[in-house]
Amino acid sequence: MDPVTIILYGVFPYISLLLFAGGVLYRLGSWLSASGLTGLYSVAVKGYTWSFGSRLGEVLKRVFLLYTLTMSDKMLLVGSFLFHWGIWIALLGHASMIIPPEQFGMPKEAHKAIALYAGGTAGVMSLIGLVILLIRRIVRSDVRRLSFLDDWFALILLLLLVAVGNYQTLVLRPDYMETVAPWVQSVLAGSPRLELVEHWDFATKLHVFLALLFIAYVPFGKLIHPFSFLAMPTLWKSPTKLYGYILAKIRG
């Protein structure tokens, strides 16, 4: 067996998963134990009686509708909306490699059609969103000045990952469920089937490597933000009470 294959697809998956799980738990722990503000903070004063369910609903609206981005520029709103919804749908489709829908009675051909049309549409949406966000970061001087290495690395990594995924789905159309899915299941079972990797085309190998790199990098940069809402004071703390002239001005 090629030593590069052993390292990239037999060892690196576990390093990636360990970094992801350990890093996310560490970041969550540091957020929840922080004494100061760590995220979106509620200053709602209407009634001062937001229940946990109400606060959860508000956070989920912000997460899925991204409506707070209407206060920013349109490129950020459109790019973020397309990318996030596209990637959520694509990730949901990728979950089928862990638990195949065929186990629940879905015909194999129906699964392939959903993967092609729904997955392909989601992938294109995500790619368009990323391109918009990249153009925004390049052409907007104020955004460019505030861009750090993490911003560029994360954006380029996602662009490559999604672009290769689209090429696979829309052009090559490999049989994931016969080649990649068994490898994913074997990795999670603790015994990677590296003989399957030898039958992958270069695009599949590249896509899997980029996915593992993405998973490993999540806790170390701004890609951690999907988990940050779990530590938002908006969710876990009661709304801030404002008194005196500030409250009078708000009511007025």
Tell me what pLDDT residue 242 has.
52
Contact of 183 with 97, CB cutoff 8 Å: no
Tens digits of per-residue pLDDT, 220-238? 998 998 888 777 776 776 6
pLDDT at 76: 93
Architecture of domain 50-251: Up-down Bundle (1.20)
Average pLDDT over residues 130-153: 94
Mean pLDDT for the chain overall:
87
The reported pTM is: 0.86
Taking CA atoms, 60 is separated from 40, 88, 89, in Å, by 12, 14, 17
Q: Do 122 and 86 contact (CB within 8 A), yes or no? A: yes
For residue 110, the model assigns a pLDDT of 92
What does the pLDDT look like over 187-201, one tens digit per residue? Answer: 999 999 999 999 999
Check residue 251 and give its pLDDT: 57
| pLDDT confidence bin for 43, thresholds 50/70/90 | very low
pLDDT band at 44 (very low <50, low <70, confident <90, very high): very low
Asked whether residue 207 carries a pLDDT value surpassing 50, the answer given is yes
Query: Could you tell me where the DSSP H helices lie in the chain?
Result: 3-6, 12-32, 52-65, 74-94, 108-139, 141-145, 149-167, 176-188, 194-197, 202-217, 225-228, 233-236, 244-251
Question: pLDDT band at residue 239, thresholds of 50, 70 and 90?
Answer: low
Kindly state the DSSP code that residue 223 receives in the 8-state scheme. G
- For the residues of 93-155, what is the DSSP string, one character each? HHGGGTS-GGGGT--HHHHHHHHHHHHHHHHHHHHHHHHHHHHHHHH-HHHHHT--HHHHHHH
Tens digit of each residue's pLDDT (9 = 90 or more) over 75-100: 999 999 999 999 999 999 999 999 98
Average pLDDT over residues 157-166: 97
> Predicted confidence band at 38 (pLDDT cuts at 50, 70, 90)?
very low
Work out the average pLDDT over 122-147.
95
SS3 35: coil
- In this prediction, residue 35 carries a pLDDT of 62
For 104-123, letters b (16+ CB in 10 Å) and e give eeeeeeebeeebeeebbebb
Question: What is the per-residue pLDDT for 47?
Answer: 47
What would the two tokens of residue 46 be?
A: 């209407």
